[in-house]
Structure 1
Amino acid sequence: MGNDGHSSAPRRVPRPLSPLREHLRDTFWFAPTVGLAGAVVLASGVLELDRLLIRTLQDDGDYAEVDALIKIANDAKTIISTVGSAMLTFVGVVFSISLVAVQMAAGQMTPRVVRLYVRSRITKCTFAVFLATFLFTLLVQASYEGNTDPRTVSTVPFVSAVLCVLMVLVSLGLFVAYVNSTIRLMRVAHVIDRIIRESFRMLDRHIRTVVPGAPGLPPAEAEILHRGRAGVLRDVHIARLVRVARRHSTVLRLIPRVGDYVVPGTPVLAVHGGTVPPPRALRYTVSVGVERTFHQDLGFGLRQLSDIAQRALSPAVNDPTTAVQCLDRIVQFLAAIADRPLGMLHHHDRKGAIRLVQDLPGWTDLVDLGFTEIRGCATGQPQVTRRLIAGLDDLLHLAPEERRPPLERHRALLTQAVERAVPAAAERDFAVLPDRQGIG
């Protein structure tokens, strides 16, 4: 690759709203707020439809039909009042279940899996629909009039009452789905599966623009320092950085990796060629938070799996089977990238010129992240050591020649650790015998 800023890598136009979408998914207030606003809009529209219906019937002189609608609406008033109080109770039940599930997950697995509950679509949808139904019933109840004369009544909440019953049915269906989803997330196997699926989604989004090695960039003209608060680099606004680099005919290089902790004054962007963008143009391009996310972090899934395995191997928990399940997924992820390029992530503008360069963890970094801490905790657990040996052997078979040294190093270190920790020769031989299930 030359210095002209072009590459044969596939072009991909970054999605401008992708950081905002991910940040909203990490909050719990957005979906319920949208639900409440939607309930107000829906109630306003449906009640206006009720007024239009009654006005049309009165203009046509169909007072008998108006009287029938009044009776139906009055009969439904008790149901609507019951629904209003029941929805508030349901909200309390859902909130209690969520708190218990989050507490159990944080205590038994790792606090980093709590974000799975925060990002759960079914949980947010259930809260939003329950709150929307509660507010909708209150607005419908407020629309009832004491006047029952079909000639002079101004509105009869008939359509709104029918819609209220339909919303109750939807709420009941969502409650069943929510309970099922929460129970699944309380099972460690499903949490591990969610983590690896999130990791593969992130991998598929970004690995297409990875080019091995560093691009031929001109010398850095300047470094842009971080001026915000200290925290974990969650992600960067790719589309905005690409636009800024194109306008100033430069290439920006992200200095820290996503997931690194940055403090004020830390260099975050290097400017290669062109003119240095003003600080105002780079506002809101770097997102810093209190914890890592999957959005652009290639190693975060391995970090979570390693944490769950270490918690399972602690003397307080002593659950080697969970550690084996984590190793299954770690090996699966590393096997998927064993022959894929890992290096610099290139983001292009519409003309195909490189405008943003982002460093990714290398193969050795990911192997160490997946195995180092588990290997240190597993020497007294033959189920885990056997699975770890089998996983390393599988990866040695799949990985290219140049990627085998870190795998061989971990295998040798594990064998040495078992020899030091297990005095009996027969037990040592048993502990390092490869087995993909740990112990049969």
Structure 2
Amino acid sequence: MSFGYGFGPGGPGRRGCRRPRALSPLREHLRDTFWFAPTLGLLCAFALWWVASAVDAEIVEYLQSEEAYDEVSDLIGIAEDARTIVTTISSAMMTFIGVVFSISLVAVQMASGGFTPRVVRIFVRSRITKLTLTVFLATFLFSLLVLTQYDSKRDPRLVTTVPLVQSILVMIMVVLSLLLFIAYVSSTLRLMQVGPVVDRITRDAFRVLAKQPGGEPDPGPLAPETARIAHRGRAGVLLDVNVARLVRAARREGVVLRLIPRIGDFVVPGTPVLAVHGVGTPSRRALRYTVFVGVERTSHQDLGFGLRQLSDIGLRALSPAVNDPTTAVQCLDRIVQFLAAVVEQPLGAVHHRDGRGAVRLVQDVPEWAHLVDLGLTEIRGCAVASPQVSRRLLAGIDDLLLLAPQDRREPLVRHRTLLVQAVERTAPEAAEREFALLPDHQGIG
């Protein structure tokens, strides 16, 4: 993933105003990595070992000050018995970690081949996968550190530390690792099934939708455009923008910034990214780390990415090599669910305001027609060969027509008409055409 920054316009929107969130996209970028959680876990394991070793040293020092040498001898005996277990654990954990990675790679390969390569991101962002790997690595490191604390001296008066507390913590971490391994296998098996995968994609899409603002009065036309700022950095997909930083930069100069590309667009160096409306131009320093570019779209701020994934899974399911219309129907269920949720949402643009309520950043989001086309076009093109899919698609469009206001019915009517025409051209028999064009919420219930 590469970070770039840019300076350029986007069309000013009509509705939707919100104040920016202060949190930067750093949290989402870290969730898309696989190194941060294990590294943090190793640091925590080292800190826990340091505290536990200090506690063990205090216990031995206290007993020696009380001249309770018999108790120290008992601790030494218990610790020696635990040493064998800790040694076995330290050597077995790496094998266990290898098993986890093997399961992960097989699951990722099957998911990317059976669904779409874009679902690999679900495994990368999986909390249970990261937590399991983190605890396994932390247990391995902690057990190695504990082995360094065993004292070769047997005289209770000369022993400086007995790793009793540390050994107990190793046992607890092993039990936790086993429990997490069970949860990890269960979670991985679920993510290899169609239903949980499309459900996860849909929930991610609704999280993005929840960040969209409600309808507000139109703030009016923007001031004339005075400058454009070009993208500086590597070419790539526009992942997200740091809204709070852009709003601050625009507020300092007393201008309004307009984001030209939408989230998910591919940008190349030199193309305009932000447009400046008003007198003054934010400095390059103020606009650093405001536009984030990467190699693949994410669902952080991308309203259409969920529909893109669902459409890809459904399209692959309808390919002659797979021929799985039931999976396509499951994807249509979720596509209709998402479109029904946005059918009355204000779309077109989002206006981000500063603390005083003044609009400082205008950001385009997909229009209603764009979302309908994204969710239905490609599946509709393949539905003519599968009555199950055509019947479910017609039922979904009819449901959306009941919910859609008058000004949003046109894209739905267009897709319904095109589907009916395609089926009539493809099916030679009247009875077959009639069957394929009968709306059914289960496809063929």
Partners of 1:396 and 1:89 in 2: CA distance: 56
Q: 1:211·1:346 contact (CA, 8 Å) conserved in 2?
A: no
What corresponds to 1:392 in structure 2?
397
- Helix, strand or coil at the partner of 1:433: coil
Partners of 1:380 and 1:363 in 2: CA distance: 27
- Helix, strand or coil at the partner of 1:39: helix
Structure 1: runs of 5+ lacking an equivalent: none
- Helix, strand or coil at the partner of 1:416: helix
Q: 2:238·2:263 contact (CA, 8 Å) conserved in 1?
A: yes
Partners of 2:252 and 2:217 in 1: CA distance: 27
1:380 aligns with 2:399: no
**Which residue of the other structure, out of 103, 108, 119, is the alignment partner of 2:114?**
108
TM normalised by structure 1 equals: 0.96
Q: Following superposition, which runs of at least 4 residues in structure 1 exceed 4 angstroms of deviation?
A: 7-11, 210-215
1:246 aligns with 2:251: yes
- Displacement, 1:433? 0.3
**Which residue of the other structure, out of 26, 38, 51, is the alignment partner of 1:45?**
51
1:193 aligns with 2:193: no
What corresponds to 2:349 in structure 1?
344
> Structure 1 residues 202, 270: CA separation in 2 closer, same or farther (over 3 Å shift)?
same
What corresponds to 2:412 in structure 1?
407
**Aligned residue runs from structure 1 range 296-311, under 5 A:** 296-311=301-316
Partners of 1:16 and 1:388 in 2: CA distance: 40
Q: 1:16·1:240 contact (CA, 8 Å) conserved in 2?
A: no
**Aligned residue runs from structure 1 range 215-234, under 5 A:** 215-234=220-239
Q: What residue identity is the alignment partner of 1:120?
A: S
User: How many residues were matched structurally?
Assistant: 433
- Helix, strand or coil at the partner of 1:206: coil
What corresponds to 1:292 in structure 2?
297
What CA deviation, in whole Å up to 9, does each residue of 1:337-392 have, x standing for no partner?
11111121111111111111100000000000000000011111000000000000
- Displacement, 1:10? 6.5
**Which residue of the other structure, out of 16, 20, 23, is the alignment partner of 1:16?**
23
> Structure 1 residues 8, 301: CA separation in 2 closer, same or farther (over 3 Å shift)?
closer
- Helix, strand or coil at the partner of 2:441: coil
> Structure 1 residues 360, 13: CA separation in 2 closer, same or farther (over 3 Å shift)?
closer
Q: 2:15·2:346 contact (CA, 8 Å) conserved in 1?
A: no
- Helix, strand or coil at the partner of 2:212: helix
**Which residue of the other structure, out of 39, 42, 49, is the alignment partner of 1:36?**
42
Partners of 1:292 and 1:27 in 2: CA distance: 14
Q: 1:213·1:344 contact (CA, 8 Å) conserved in 2?
A: no
Partners of 1:87 and 1:244 in 2: CA distance: 50
**Which residue of the other structure, out of 283, 286, 291, is the alignment partner of 1:278?**
283
Q: 1:302·1:369 contact (CA, 8 Å) conserved in 2?
A: yes
Partners of 1:231 and 1:214 in 2: CA distance: 32
- Helix, strand or coil at the partner of 1:279: coil
- Displacement, 1:175? 0.5
Partners of 1:142 and 1:73 in 2: CA distance: 13
Q: What residue identity is the alignment partner of 1:142?
A: T
What corresponds to 2:431 in structure 1?
426
- Helix, strand or coil at the partner of 2:211: helix
Partners of 1:307 and 1:13 in 2: CA distance: 32
Q: 1:80·1:141 contact (CA, 8 Å) conserved in 2?
A: yes
What CA deviation, in whole Å up to 9, does each residue of 1:208-256 have, x standing for no partner?
3x65868421011101000110000000011111111111111111000
Q: 1:334·1:395 contact (CA, 8 Å) conserved in 2?
A: yes
- Helix, strand or coil at the partner of 2:223: coil
- Between stretches 306-315 and 86-95, larger displacement belongs to 86-95
Q: 1:233·1:286 contact (CA, 8 Å) conserved in 2?
A: yes
Partners of 1:54 and 1:15 in 2: CA distance: 49
Q: 1:233·1:292 contact (CA, 8 Å) conserved in 2?
A: yes
Percent identity of the aligned residues? Answer: 65
What corresponds to 2:72 in structure 1?
66
Q: 2:17·2:216 contact (CA, 8 Å) conserved in 1?
A: no
Q: 1:123·1:178 contact (CA, 8 Å) conserved in 2?
A: yes
Structure having greater relative contact order (Cα 8 Å, sep ≥ 6): 2
Structure 2: runs of 5+ lacking an equivalent: 1-11
- Displacement, 1:206? 2.1
1:173 aligns with 2:179: yes
- Helix, strand or coil at the partner of 2:208: helix
- Helix, strand or coil at the partner of 1:89: helix
Partners of 2:252 and 2:178 in 1: CA distance: 53
Q: What residue identity is the alignment partner of 2:203?
A: R
- Displacement, 1:65? 1.2
1:318 aligns with 2:323: yes
